[in-house]
Amino acid sequence: MTRIVLATRNRGKVAELHRILTDIEVAGLDAFADAPDVPETELTFEGNALLKARAITAHTGLPAVADDSGLCVDALNGMPGVLSARWSGRFGAATGDKDAANLQLLLDQIADVPDGLRGGHFVCAAALVLPGGVEHCVEARMRGTIVRTPRGTGGFGYDPVFLPDGESRTTAEMSPADKDAISHRGRAFRTLAELLPEALSAAGLT
């Protein structure tokens, strides 16, 4: 079975990709104790995804998948965007719960925004880099609304306040399978999964 490294230590993301790539062995960075932490220094989701995948392929010698995703809020002119995971900055790091700090800061910033103007979308860019330099990157989105009060205990990040279009549940209230079916990350990874067999075969990795 082909082994692919997912360039993250986020166990939720590893589990999510494993559910989608059922015929491929997926390992997170926890399986590589000396793997580098790659700073997300690019200004686009695609740039950050490729940056991380390239670094992990170079380090492990294995095919690597990386994603960069974030929440783009209309009332904030598309922010937090690529800064979603570190929106609360040093304050979030100091609290010990960065996700909660990011989420609360976002809610505070749009507290006065009327319900009809609280739209936004999640974006995910997913990159595949193979030994030898072959690269693929795809992008997917999920449109929805930012609710005023967190709901649900599933998922991670901004999931408790994101209500997808056509849904009555936030993404944190959904089962993993229901979320995967419509999420930006699920869509991006499924598209990437369709490219994998041919890409791996062409590179002599199957």
Catalytic residues: 68
What does the chain look like in DSSP terms, one character per residue? Answer: --EEEES---HHHHHHHHHH-TTSEEE-GGG-TTPPP----SSSHHHHHHHHHHHHHHHHSS-EEEEEEEEEEGGGTT-BGGGGGGTTHHHHHHHT-HHHHHHHHHHHHTTTS-GGG-EEEEEEEEEEE-TTS-EEEEEEEEEEEE-SS---SSSSTTGGGEEETT-SS-TTTS-HHHHHHH-HHHHHHHHHHHHHHHHHHHTT--
Query: What pairs with residue 128 in β-bridges?
Result: 65, 136
Angle of helix 11-20 versus helix 184-202 axis, rounded to 10: 60
State phi, psi for 157 to the nearest 5 degrees.
65, -125
